[in-house]
Structure formats: C-alpha cells, structure tokens
C-alpha cells in the first residue's frame, strides 16, 4: 500500500536558526562518515528521526521538536525525514562535490557533530522535493479524479525507485526480471550475425572477455543486490580481478547533479578503495542492464550506421523488433501456450492489427504494447497538466497526426469486433455473448503507480462508443511486462488465473468508496482504504506467493554450477 506522509523540513524543527546551503552542512562531516552515508540509508529504510541519533540526549531533543511541531500543526501520523529520493540526492551531492567533501577532508570523526549536520542536510533536501504530501481534498466519490491526479503527481518522478513502503518484493521481482530480460536481449542479438557488433560492444563496455562471462557477472551482481538488502548492507569487498573490472565499469570519477539522477543511473556504484564498493541505489544497478543499456546500444548502433543522435532507426529496431516482436510475444506465447487458445490470423494487409490477441471460449483479450520513454522534464515536473498531456500523446492520440495510438487502437479493434468487421478473428459469432478485456501492456514498471490506470480508463470509457448488447467490454487494464514475466508460471498454470485477477482488478476499480463506521474518524479511515484499493495498479493485485521460488533458484543456479555452459 502506498502511504502519503509529511516530510519534515528545516524550518519545522529549527525555525529560529539561520539555515545555510546543504553543502555547508556536509563540509562539517568527516570523510569517513560521508563515504559511509553513500548507500547506507537506501539499505536501511527504517531510519527516521526517532532512531537517527547515536546519542540518546540528542535523540530526545529532536524527538521533542518533532512532537511539538506535530502537536502545534495538527499533524496526524508519523512524519518522515529519510526517504529514498532524499537518500539518493544526498549521495549525489556528496559525489558531485567529492573534491571538496572527500578528497581534501581532514576532519576527525565526531559522531554527534556528523549526525546533526547530516540530519539538517536531509531536512533541507526535503524542502526541495516536497510536493504537498498532505492530501487537502476530502476523499469522496465526487473528487476521486482529483485525488488520482494528486497521487500521480506525487509518485510520477520516483516511480522507478520503489513505489511502496515495503520495496523488498519490488526488488525481488526486478532482480528476477533483470536477469530474464538481459538473457532475452542477448538471445535476440545472437539470432543474427549482423548484430554481433552489439554483443561485442556490451563485452567491451563492461570489460568482459565474452558474453558468457558478462551474463555471469550480471547475474552475480543481481543476487548480491538481494543479499545486501536482506542483510541491510550497502558495501562489499571483491578480490576476483574479472569481477573488479566489471564493477569498475559501473563507477565514474565524474558525477554531476541532475533532476533525474542521470549520472547515478549510469554509474550506480561507488568505489571506496581498491576492493570495496558501495551500492548507491539497488534499482539503479538493476535498471542498468534493462533500461540504461538501451542507450549504450543506441550509441553503438548509430556509430555503426553513421546516424545522427536524433535518428529514430535504433528505437524502431529495439522497440519493435526486440521489445515487442521478440520479448513481449515470447512472454505472452508462453502464458497462452495451449493449442485451444484462438490467436489472431496472420494476414498480409495494411490494416492495423492488435499487438497481441487471444480468444478463449467467450473471453477476448486485446493487448496493445507500448515501449515508451517519458521526457525527463515531464517526469520530474510534478505538474499533472504536463504529465496528462504527455500520456495522452503516448497512449491515446498521436499529437503530430491525430491518429489513434495505444488505447485508441484498442478502441478501433473493439469497434471492428462490434461491427462484425474484425478480420483477424473471423470466427467470432456476432449474436453470441463475449467478454472483451482491453489491456494496455507497458514495457516496464515506470507507470505502475496509483492513479494511472484510473486516469487511462477514464479516457478509454470517454472515447469508446459502441452499441452492441452482446459485448461486455471491461474497463481497460494497464499491465507492465515485468509483472507478466515474474508471474508467468502462475498465469499459464490455469486458464482462469489471469481472468480472475483481471476481474478482481476491474471490480476494485469500479467500487464505490462510500465510507462506513461508527465515528467520523472510522469513516475517513475506511474511505482512504477503499480509495487506495480503487487506485492500486494491477501489479499490486498479485500475492507474492504466486511466484514460484524454484524459478529464482533455477535462474541463478549456474552461478554455483561449475559445469554450466
């Protein structure tokens, strides 16, 4: 469940103190403490104002300040000082100012001094990232759209660094999917000898002698990420020279501050000494081999074909040939592998076809797949109008030519089915009853945040206009491919599993959030619970137990099998 909380700011706790720039507080912290800050708070998410300080006396003073502020301002619930975003930002500031904060730092260790200055630095960072975390609207059916917009604004910029309070299942899922996708990409490139230069580029960049060695190094690091998280560790020692070479490809001496942490995404490790590395952010490490790697391949592709950086040929190759026609279709073919599933006919026609289509008895599933990038200035804006306009241009109508895309294409197919003019499945009987499940399938988890499905479904229902009593067209469901990969075995094990989850999700999306209870507080609490259920993305409807742990073991077994090829 997502949770909206107040991030404490400097003036909340130190209103009488003249605040300085963040860098001035960091200058008062020893080199040892600064280097150990990097990655620490991401590995220990439970750190907050009430357990931040080693000195009980200082801790008590800060606790009283927080309690007084909450009492004076009617703050309900426990406020927050440390967040994932703030932790990454602290690391970024330290590394981008390494020359003055670390290289020439001669301060002796002083725990009390270091902790209070770090605490104040966090409070100052919170001022820059706060986006009015307190919902000012009363939760009700009438303004659910506004509440949805607020939740999207709050989570949009940081959706790929952990949406939920407990990110362990998110990391487990991403770890498994990272290995799966990286292996899939290599297999795709291996199918044609003309792509060998791209494989060689990967080996060269990550300083490995062969693609087999690189796959092993990637999987080794993926497993370590989970182990470090489990043990609340953030730094590790390595002695193997090949592994050191690989890890060195993930560090940089030059880090600059960026609204979307671009430099840290590209170089998500920090090297403390010759053998010791720090994980700056686990999500950044994993995304390096699925999302960031796309841009590495793009540079190589453009250089090979003498193309300008603005040329779109690579993305046509990657998004269409690999992401959609290879990865997406392989995943869905595995899920819908039984012979009695009716799939779309392969036709030589200029007419738009579904990206993927399945009919099982009277249930029709229409998939439209999108592998899209969101511009950085939109992603970090917190501006719901800018976000909405961008999503409409990605998933509803092409802004350059007005043609239907994404959701619009699904509507086109539903209209064709309703008019008995759907050429890709001519066995649909026009006088029979069918359930139609429209599904917008996205390439990764970036938009799996509360409110997105609600927003896109509003557009879908507003644009869909058919009059056919034989068709029960369901609300549109937004699904990320990572979820299908992770729960692939569960979804294929029984035909009804996907249908049941879709029906549950759609039912929750349509549910009333009218409150109940004996007191106003009880009513409000129940409304908020129902609102969260209503706006929760499809991926969060799965029970983690639906994932077979044996699949994880099998995927990484080669790391301990000396005879593996």
Query: Are 473 and 445 spatial neighbours (Cβ–Cβ below 8 Å)?
Result: no
Specify the pLDDT at position 562. Answer: 59
Q: In this predicted model, what pLDDT tens digit does every residue of 296-330 receive, in sequence order?
A: 999 999 999 999 988 999 999 999 999 999 999 99
Q: In this predicted model, what pLDDT tens digit does every residue of 531-564 receive, in sequence order?
A: 888 999 999 999 999 999 999 999 999 988 755 5
Q: Which residue has the higher pLDDT, 469 or 402?
A: 402
Query: Are 404 and 334 spatial neighbours (Cβ–Cβ below 8 Å)?
Result: no
Letter string b/e over residues 341-376, b meaning 16 or more CB atoms within 10 A of that residue's CB: eeebeeeeeeeebbbbbbbbeebbbbbbbbbbebee
Judged by average pLDDT, the poorest of 43-57, 254-268, 498-512 is 43-57
Cα–Cα distance, 145 to 76 (Å, whole number): 24
Query: Are 268 and 289 spatial neighbours (Cβ–Cβ below 8 Å)?
Result: no
Instruction: State the chain's mean pLDDT as an integer.
Output: 90
Q: Which residue has tokens 């606790």?
A: 63
Mean pLDDT of 445-455: 92
* Strands, E assignment, 274-343: 276-279, 342-343
As to burial, measured by CB atoms within 10 angstroms (0-12 exposed, 13-18 middle, 19+ buried), residue 419 is exposed
- Give the pLDDT band of residue 9 (cuts 50, 70, 90): very high
Q: Which residue has tokens 């899922």?
A: 173
Specify the pLDDT at position 526. Answer: 76
Give the rounded percent of residues in the chain with a pLDDT score beyond 70. 94
pLDDT at 77 over 70: yes
Classified as helix, coil or strand, 369 is: strand
Retrieve residue 110's tokens: 């002083």
Cα–Cα distance, 49 to 512 (Å, whole number): 37
Q: Which residue has tokens 């605040």?
A: 19
Mean pLDDT of 369-397: 92
Q: In this predicted model, what pLDDT tens digit does every residue of 97-110 receive, in sequence order?
A: 999 999 999 999 99
- Give the pLDDT band of residue 272 (cuts 50, 70, 90): very high
Reported pTM: 0.91
Give the rounded percent of residues in the chain with a pLDDT score beyond 90. 72
Specify the pLDDT at position 493. Answer: 96
């Amino acid at each position: 469940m997502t949770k909206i909380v107040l991030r404490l700011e400097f003036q909340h706790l130190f209103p009488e103190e003249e605040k300085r720039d963040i860098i001035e507080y960091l200058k008062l912290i020893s080199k040892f403490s600064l280097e150990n800050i990097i990655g620490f708070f991401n590995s220990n998410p439970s750190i907050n104002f009430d357990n931040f300080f080693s000195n009980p006396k200082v801790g008590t003073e800060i606790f009283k300040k927080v309690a007084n502020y909450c009492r004076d301002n009617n703050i309900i619930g426990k406020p927050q000082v440390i967040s994932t975003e703030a932790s990454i930002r602290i690391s970024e500031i330290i590394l981008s100012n390494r020359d003055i904060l670390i290289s020439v730092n001669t301060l002796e260790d002083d725990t009390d001094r270091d902790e209070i200055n770090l605490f104040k630095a966090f409070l100052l960072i919170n001022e820059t990232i706060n986006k009015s975390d307190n919902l000012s609207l009363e939760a009700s059916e009438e303004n659910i759209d506004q509440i949805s917009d607020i939740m999207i604004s709050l989570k949009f910029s940081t959706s790929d660094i952990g949406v939920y309070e407990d990110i362990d299942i998110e990391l487990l899922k991403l770890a498994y999917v990272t290995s799966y996708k990286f292996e899939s990409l290599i297999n795709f490139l291996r199918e044609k000898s003309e792509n060998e230069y791209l494989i060689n580029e990967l080996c060269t960049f990550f300083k490995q002698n062969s693609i087999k060695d690189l796959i092993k190094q990637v999987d080794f690091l993926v497993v370590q990420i989970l182990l470090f998280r489990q043990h609340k560790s953030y730094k590790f020692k390595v002695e193997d020279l090949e592994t050191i070479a690989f890890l060195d490809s993930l560090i940089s001496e030059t880090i600059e501050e960026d609204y979307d942490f671009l430099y840290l995404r590209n170089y998500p490790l920090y090297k403390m000494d010759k053998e010791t590395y720090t994980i700056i952010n686990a999500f950044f490490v994993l995304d390096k081999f699925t999302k960031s790697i796309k841009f590495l391949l793009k540079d190589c592709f453009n250089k090979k074909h003498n193309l300008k950086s603005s040329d779109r040929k690579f993305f046509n190759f990657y998004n269409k040939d690999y992401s959609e026609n290879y990865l997406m279709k392989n995943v869905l073919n595995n899920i819908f592998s039984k012979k009695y599933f009716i799939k779309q006919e392969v036709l030589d026609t200029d007419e738009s076809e579904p990206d993927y289509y399945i009919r099982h008895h009277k249930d029709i599933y229409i998939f439209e797949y999108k592998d899209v990038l969101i511009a950085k200035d939109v992603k970090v804006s917190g501006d719901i109008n800018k976000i909405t306009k961008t999503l409409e241009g990605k998933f509803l109508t092409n802004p350059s030519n007005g043609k239907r895309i994404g959701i619009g294409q699904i509507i086109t197919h539903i209209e064709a089915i309703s008019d008995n003019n759907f050429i890709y499945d001519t066995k649909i009987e026009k006088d029979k009853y069918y359930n139609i499940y429209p599904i917008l399938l996205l390439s990764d988890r970036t938009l799996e945040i509360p409110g997105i499905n609600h927003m896109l479904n509003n557009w879908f229902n507003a644009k869909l206009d058919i009059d056919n009593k034989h068709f029960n067209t369901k609300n549109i469901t937004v699904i990320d491919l990572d979820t299908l990969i992770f729960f692939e075995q569960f979804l294929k094990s029984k035909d009804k599993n996907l249908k049941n989850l879709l029906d549950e999700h759609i039912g929750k999306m349509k549910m009333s959030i009218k409150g109940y209870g004996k007191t106003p507080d009880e009513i409000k609490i129940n409304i908020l619970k129902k609102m969260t259920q209503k706006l929760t993305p499809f991926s969060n409807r799965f029970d983690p137990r639906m994932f077979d742990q044996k699949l994880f073991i099998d995927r990484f077994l080669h790391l301990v099998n000396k005879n593996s090829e």
